[in-house]
Structure 1
Amino acid sequence: MTDTTEKAASTAAGAVAAAAPEPAPPPRTARLWRGLTPWLFLIAPLALLITFTYAPIANMIAYSFTDWDGVSPERHYIGGQNYTEIFTREDLFQVFFVSGYYLAASVVQIVAALYFATILSFNVRFRNFFKGVLFFPYLINGVAIGFVFLYFFQDGGTLDAVLALFGYHADHAWLGTPTSANVSLAGVSVWRYMGLNFVLFLGAIQSIPGELYEAAELDGAGRWHQFRYIIAPGIRPVLSLTVILSISGSLSVFEIPYIMTGGATGTETFVIQTIKLAFQFNKTGLASAAAVVLLLIILAVTWVQRRLVPDDKVDLV
């Protein structure tokens, strides 16, 4: 009896559903507006992106094939002569060796940022205070940092005064030789940009579920094992991102060496050289070619890095 009742009820429900009219499709105008709505929101950002990013890049590429001086309304097409000059003149390409100092400094920067982020991710006293101390240098304007450390490293400056308190009297200028100057400038970059990597690492570490740490502690895992088997695999995408940013940043250093030394004493970077070619020697075409070369190098390094370390999805469970 029960089965018969259930069958009758289901049959009646099916009949009612079949008898119910199907909803009418939305009007064509409504469907059109529904498809256009996302693009309406994208008009402003796309216009800004094209105007201030892609259009200047296209102009830069076009200028790189001319002998334009940046002032004259006339531009003469010279083909690939600018690129040939860049790759054949040693003085134009030799400045890339200066980037090696900043590349080594970026390794120190990443290691230090990862260390502090790991320590402060656990329950440490005054950890919020130390977070602010580590991130504060990144908030300071780069020009201000350049002038502060310019007086810090000058003869008889702050660094010499501090070393004199410990009985060490420096007999050379910290910015007077290429090696000491580049090491000093690279050290400033570590101090300034470590806070950014620190925040990225800290956010990635705190996004790891806390249950994994509790399970690891129950299994007797110490801090080192938690870092090796939980933290390191969990922040691998962020670590890959910081490596890309560090490599591209070391190749395009400009602000700190330009303010502190102006590129003198063997501290000239590729970007400083490009700026001088464009605005000091009025060789905008050659400077544009140099900028295109730098862009291609950064893209190539990024592509190689992404191929060697693919951004796979991390599953710690």
Structure 2
Amino acid sequence: MTATPVLTENPAARTSRPSTAPSRRNPLHLRDARAAWLFLAPFGVFYLAFLIGPTIDMLITSFFNTSLVKPGLGSFAGFGNYAEMLSRPDFWSAILATLQFTLYTVPPLVVVAFVFAVLTNRVRRGQWFFRLAFFLPFVLPSATISLIWTFIFTPGTGLWPLVESWFGISPGAGVLASPNTAMIGIAVATLWWTLGFNFVLYLAGLQEIPRELYEAAAVDGATTWEQIRYITLPMLSRTHTLVLLLQIIASLKIFDQVYLMTGGGPGISTQVVLELVTGTGFTDNRIGAASAASMLLFILILVIAVIRQVADRPSRAEA
């Protein structure tokens, strides 16, 4: 009579067997989730009240003949406000001026900020001074920046006409008084003002790159340019995308400097879309038409942002 073998369960197999008992969430995770939502709640309320809410209201208003001096939405216009804006020459002139300003500001604000960040990151002592020097103008209000640069470009008393006289150049009517140079003057003021923001983003990305990579490359005989090309640029690919996208959106939303420095002049050579919106809504009292122009600018920004993100997908997939 043969003995029946006793089957013993392997402890390793028992631990690897999936449990059929209902899973219970960790109370600590639930507490952390509640705390996170609690901290996000104030921002969420302001986000809904001052961004999402006004955007929905603007979308609704763009389909009505809403007036600033009459209560209510007014008569229904459908896509009439959009058709009117798309047929107005000053709207397309404002679009071109906005794109011109974007073209003048985005490349230098990205490239110069990157170069300054790379140079500052290589400084061993006194790096705080360069951080402060580059970022300090960004904390100043737009009105202060506009007054400073308007004074610099003022013929006769400004610094720029004095520099022109050193090189034997006649000052003429002034930088901001000429349709050919007014937008360039606004772009220079914006470059000096907002460079520090992109500079800080790049500097933060550079400090996340391990220094061992540069030391190993230097041991292998890599030059400074080769280290930047093969280490810095690839490691900052996400930072490049973030800075470029934020800068394009910020440049397309230009308003303060133009309104304070030139008022859209000379003529309408520097009139951007948001200034056209302000004039249509608060001077002509046509809130519906101004909302339609704002929505068209929103669509333009959204399309450019989507194109930029789609174009960046192959590079991120390769990385």
Distance 1:168 1:125 in 2: 41
How do residues 133-172 of structure 1 correspond to structure 2 at under 5 angstroms? 133-156=133-156, 157-172=158-173
Distance 1:118 1:25 in 2: 50
From the superposition, tell whether residues 43 and 198 of structure 1 become closer, same or farther in structure 2 (CA, over 3 Å). Answer: closer
Distance 1:42 1:250 in 2: 29
From the superposition, tell whether residues 224 and 32 of structure 1 become closer, same or farther in structure 2 (CA, over 3 Å). Answer: closer
Question: Which letter maps to 2:198?
Answer: N
Q: Does 1:299 align with 2:298?
A: no
From the superposition, tell whether residues 139 and 37 of structure 1 become closer, same or farther in structure 2 (CA, over 3 Å). Answer: closer
Following TM superposition, by how much is the alpha carbon of 1:34 offset from its aligned partner in structure 2, in angstroms? Answer: 8.8
How do residues 223-242 of structure 1 correspond to structure 2 at under 5 angstroms? 223-242=224-243
Distance 2:37 2:109 in 1: 41
Distance 1:41 1:202 in 2: 28
Question: Which letter maps to 1:180?
Answer: T
1:290 to 282, 288, 293: 293
Gaps of 5+ in 2: 1-7, 12-20
Q: Does 1:94 align with 2:93?
A: yes
Distance 1:244 1:32 in 2: 35
Cα distance per residue 1:263-285 (max 9 Å; x no partner) = 11111111111011110110100
Contact 1:181 1:267 in 2 (8 A): yes
Question: Which letter maps to 2:59?
Answer: I
Distance 2:295 2:192 in 1: 30
From the superposition, tell whether residues 116 and 40 of structure 1 become closer, same or farther in structure 2 (CA, over 3 Å). Answer: closer
Distance 2:120 2:310 in 1: 32
How do residues 74-223 of structure 1 correspond to structure 2 at under 5 angstroms? 74=72, 75-99=74-98, 100-123=100-123, 126-156=126-156, 157-223=158-224
Which secondary structure does the structure 2 equivalent of 1:179 belong to? coil
From the superposition, tell whether residues 183 and 220 of structure 1 become closer, same or farther in structure 2 (CA, over 3 Å). Answer: same
Further displaced range: 94-103 or 178-187: 94-103
Distance 2:178 2:211 in 1: 50
Contact 1:113 1:194 in 2 (8 A): yes
1:277 to 270, 276, 280: 280
Question: Which letter maps to 1:80?
Answer: F
Tell me the equivalent position of 1:310: 313
Contact 2:59 2:291 in 1 (8 A): yes
Following TM superposition, by how much is the alpha carbon of 1:125 offset from its aligned partner in structure 2, in angstroms? Answer: 5.9
Following TM superposition, by how much is the alpha carbon of 1:102 offset from its aligned partner in structure 2, in angstroms? Answer: 3.2
- Residue correspondences, number: 298
* TM-align CA RMSD: 3.1
Distance 1:177 1:34 in 2: 59
Seq. identity, %: 29
Distance 1:202 1:40 in 2: 32
Task: Give me the TM-score of the superposition, normalised by structure 1.
Answer: 0.84
Following TM superposition, by how much is the alpha carbon of 1:131 offset from its aligned partner in structure 2, in angstroms? Answer: 2.6
Contact 2:104 2:184 in 1 (8 A): no
From the superposition, tell whether residues 31 and 143 of structure 1 become closer, same or farther in structure 2 (CA, over 3 Å). Answer: closer
Following TM superposition, by how much is the alpha carbon of 1:127 offset from its aligned partner in structure 2, in angstroms? Answer: 3.8
Task: Give me the TM-score of the superposition, normalised by structure 2.
Answer: 0.84
From the superposition, tell whether residues 219 and 198 of structure 1 become closer, same or farther in structure 2 (CA, over 3 Å). Answer: same
